[in-house]
Amino acid sequence: MSEAAPSGTTAPGPPAARLIRRLLPRRRHLVPVVALAVAGVAPAVVGPAILGRATDIIFSGLVGRTLPAGTPLDQVVAQVRADGNGNLADLLARMNPVPGAGIDFGRLGPVLLLALALFAGAAALNMAQALLLNGMVHRTVGRLRADVEAKINRLPLPYFDDQPRGELLSRVSNDIDNIAQSLQQTLSQMLTAVLTVIGVLTMMFVVSPLLAFVSLVTVPLSVVLAKRIATRAQPRFAAQWASVGAVNALIEEAITGHELVKVFGRRREVQAAFAAKNDELFRASSDAQVMSGVIVPSMMFIGNLGYVAIAVAGALRVASGAMTLGDVQAFIQYTGQFTSPLSQVASMANLLQSCVASAARVFALLDAPDQSPDPPAPVPLGPVRGRVEFHGVSFRYRPDKPLLTDLSLVAEPGRTVAIVGPTGAGKTTLVNLLMRFYEVESGRVTLDGIDISTLRRDTLRGRIGMVLQDTWLFGGTIWDNIAYGRPEATGEQILAAAEAAFVDRFAHGLPQGYDTVVDGEGGTISSGERQLVTIARAFLADPAVLILDEATSSVDTRTEVLVRKAMASLRAGRTSFVIAHRLSTIVDADLIVVMEDGRIVEQGDHTRLIAARGAYHRLYEAQFRKAAEDSGVPGDAGPPDRGGPAPRAVRT
């Protein structure tokens, strides 16, 4: 059972209450947990009384040894009372020593063995209770992790645009780990502490109501102090975990972009930024830990005041003959058992505040709005021809900044549409709308005449393939990375896709061939080879519509020819959208669309747009001049359409 509703929302309420609700589905485990806790606390509560009895036996033997042998105890008591020492006479009467006899080990041995057995049994029962409770916590936290993972899959893309990946990873990893550790450490101890306080307090009133009331004098002070400290600690723990997320975000960013950091010599700046974030984390952690560290010595001080009061009052009671020495010894031990759980509960309050702070961050993630749901009655999608049309589409990332305004575009089946323009023109946004990573604000996008908003997302995306500039490979073999596009594919189909994308050209040269393991960065193969693997993945998926987003802009020279051939083969017979800053890669496109500020300012084929001498011509000449400068060719050589050399692939 999960707290998460199908819609992705979670039950409202404070984080602590929501954590408790998540434990409730495991309530069938609570009965044995409580039973084991009670059974484990009972021997520990009775133990001091038994040890007090052992103390009385020992002290009685020591006193009896000093009395005349053979003299009746009544006579000794009467003589002491006659001597004017009534309190001592009352004490002797309560102790019942045997005059002339020493310690009765026959009585002492069974009492000590019983105490030992009780303490050993209590330890075993407490261990069983802790194991059962920890298992319940593990299952609850495991369900929480599963809900978070499912939630991440339901979140819309804009959520990730606004969240640093390191911060998100910190919530998924560090905060959930903190919840698990805090619950494991506190729940078992909290239950045992509460039961111990109840049991010990009962025994204290049985032994001496007067001393029990004396011991309770310090309780209100302990409660007030613990509450004040816990209230002040919670926001400090929240700041601490927020700082942890910020540090993780910075580390993730530095690791992901470590090559750029080195290329641009920004190591010192990155170190300075990390030092600043780390210093913030140090201060936040120090504030939280200092506040939490105050509570234990404070509770110990209050507990020691209670010890002093019990020792003085107990001594007076023994001196008056109202209590035996064993009773006082048992009561002092009970006082320790009474104050120790209170100190534990107070210190656990800080752990719980840290847990609540982490829970608030996790529940904030679970409470984030889901992406808009698929239509309740989605339109079935049969074989796709690949005609894509944008009808008066408008879109904005931010309410105050429109990006696409009344944009219309038609891509005929099997044709290649190249989208060019300066950074921020809306090129990638256009294909993101086609994939329904974002929803259009107005207008509509159709596939073969069907509004894509009426289709299930997985149905739509199953007909569209993407090859991105940022080649993503997961930790696994080259074979598995190709098969990712179609897990049910046969070995022959995977090999055919690899050959079509020229992956076989380099895979056979690797020691393990297709079984070569690559990591997320594909470190064992080059960037161009990674690109070929992603193209093979798209070949295997066999989509009707293809999106090439900056697909050749970061390919190394050695494999660029293979990549271009593979791209051309992949585009054959498919409706393709190609986004690239390097115009040399799209001169053969059937339709070139030039975008500026979210609008289409020109469209046509390469020859027509060059002849029009408009925005595309300006971009093309700018690239040519840059290529000429880089290669040493005179700047007036002219672009290829005027007899000059073809420009090399250069990014604008």
Eight-state DSSP code of residue 29: G
Res. 6: pLDDT tops 50: no
Res. 352: pLDDT tops 90: no
What pLDDT does 418 receive? 92
Q: In whole angstroms, give the CA distance from residue 451 to residue 12.
A: 36
**pLDDT > 70: percent of the chain:** 81
Residue 271 φ/ψ region, left for φ over 0, alpha for ψ in the -120 to 50 degree band, beta for the rest? alpha
Query: At CB < 8 A and 24+ separation, what contacts does 402-405 make?
Result: 402/598, 403/429, 403/598, 404/429, 404/430, 404/433, 404/598, 404/599, 405/598, 405/599
Calculate the dihedral angle through the C-alpha atoms of 53, 56, 61, 64, rounding to the nearest 10 degrees: -140
Res. 59: pLDDT tops 80: no
The mean pLDDT of 479-488, rounded to a whole number, is 87
Pick the more confident residue, 588 or 522: 588
Instruction: State both tokens at 417.
Output: 């549409």
What pLDDT does 442 receive? 92
Q: What is the pLDDT of residues 68-84, one digit of tens each?
A: 776 676 666 676 666 66
Q: What pLDDT band is residue 643 in, cutting at 50, 70 and 90? A: very low
Q: In whole angstroms, give the CA distance from residue 478 to residue 498.
A: 10
Sign of CA dihedral 305, 307, 309, 312: negative
Q: Are 447 and 388 in contact (CB under 8 A)?
A: yes
Beta bridge partners of 283: none
209: CB partners within 8 A, 6+ apart: none
CB count within 10 Å of CB 324 equals: 21
What pLDDT does 3 receive? 44
What pLDDT does 42 receive? 78
Phi, psi dihedrals of residue 127, rounded to the nearest 5°: -65, -45
Res. 391: pLDDT tops 90: yes
Average pLDDT, the chain: 79
The mean pLDDT of 263-273, rounded to a whole number, is 70
Considering only CA atoms, which of 545, 517, 544 is closest in space to residue 533?
517
Query: At CB < 8 A and 24+ separation, what contacts does 495-499 make?
Result: 496/539, 497/536, 497/537, 497/539, 497/540, 498/536
CB count within 10 Å of CB 276 equals: 12
Burial of 358 (0-12, 13-18, 19+ CB in 10 A): buried
Instruction: State both tokens at 625.
Output: 């001049």
Q: What pLDDT band is residue 250 in, cutting at 50, 70 and 90? A: confident
Q: What pLDDT band is residue 279 in, cutting at 50, 70 and 90? A: confident
Number of H helices, E strands in the chain: 22, 12
Considering only CA atoms, which of 303, 307, 288, 311 is closest in space to residue 345?
303
Q: Are 403 and 426 in contact (CB under 8 A)?
A: yes
What pLDDT does 259 receive? 57
Q: In whole angstroms, give the CA distance from residue 623 to residue 620.
A: 5
Q: What pLDDT band is residue 549 in, cutting at 50, 70 and 90? A: confident
Pick the more confident residue, 414 or 292: 414
What predicted TM-score, i.e. pTM, was given to this entire model?
0.65
Q: In whole angstroms, give the CA distance from residue 75 to residue 291.
A: 62
- Give the 3-state secondary structure of residue 410: strand
What pLDDT does 14 receive? 83
What does the radius of gyration of the chain's CA atoms come to, in whole angstroms? 39
Q: Are 470 and 529 in contact (CB under 8 A)?
A: no
**pLDDT > 90: percent of the chain:** 13
Q: Are 514 and 552 in contact (CB under 8 A)?
A: no
Pick the more confident residue, 521 or 478: 478
3-state helix, strand, coil in the chain (%, to 5): 65, 10, 25
Q: What is the pLDDT of residues 560-615, one digit of tens each?
A: 788 888 888 888 889 999 987 778 778 889 999 999 888 999 999 999 999 999 99
Pick the more confident residue, 436 or 50: 436
What pLDDT does 389 receive? 95
Question: Among 97-106, 232-241, 254-263, 599-608, which range has the highest average pLDDT?
Answer: 599-608
What pLDDT does 171 receive? 85
Q: What angle do CA 107, 109, 115 make, to 5 degrees?
A: 110
Q: Are 212 and 201 in contact (CB under 8 A)?
A: yes
DSSP-derived secondary structure for 540-600: HH--SEEEEESTTTT--HHHHHHHHHHHHHHHTTSEEEEE-S-GGGSTT-SEEEEEETTEE
Look at 77-91, 190-204, 303-317, 389-403 and tell me which has the smallest mean pLDDT: 77-91
Q: Are 381 and 202 in contact (CB under 8 A)?
A: no
Phi, psi dihedrals of residue 465, rounded to the nearest 5°: -110, 150
Q: In whole angstroms, give the CA distance from residue 478 to residue 410.
A: 36
Q: What pLDDT band is residue 261 in, cutting at 50, 70 and 90? A: low
Res. 262: pLDDT tops 90: no
Beta bridge partners of 409: 390
- How many residues does this entry show for the chain? 652
Q: Are 200 and 338 in contact (CB under 8 A)?
A: yes
Look at 208-212, 322-326, 501-505, 632-636 and tell me which has the smallest mean pLDDT: 632-636
Pick the more confident residue, 338 or 91: 338
Pick the more confident residue, 373 or 264: 373
Q: Are 331 and 211 in contact (CB under 8 A)?
A: yes
Q: In whole angstroms, give the CA distance from residue 274 to residue 258.
A: 14
The CATH classification number of 388-630 equals 3.40.50.300
Query: At CB < 8 A and 24+ separation, what contacts does 604-610 make?
Result: 607/641, 610/639, 610/641
Residue type, 349: A
Question: Among 34-43, 98-107, 261-270, 636-645, which range has the highest average pLDDT?
Answer: 34-43
What pLDDT does 594 receive? 92
Pick the more confident residue, 637 or 203: 203
Residue type, 346: A
Burial of 82 (0-12, 13-18, 19+ CB in 10 A): exposed
Q: In whole angstroms, give the CA distance from residue 66 to residue 61.
A: 9
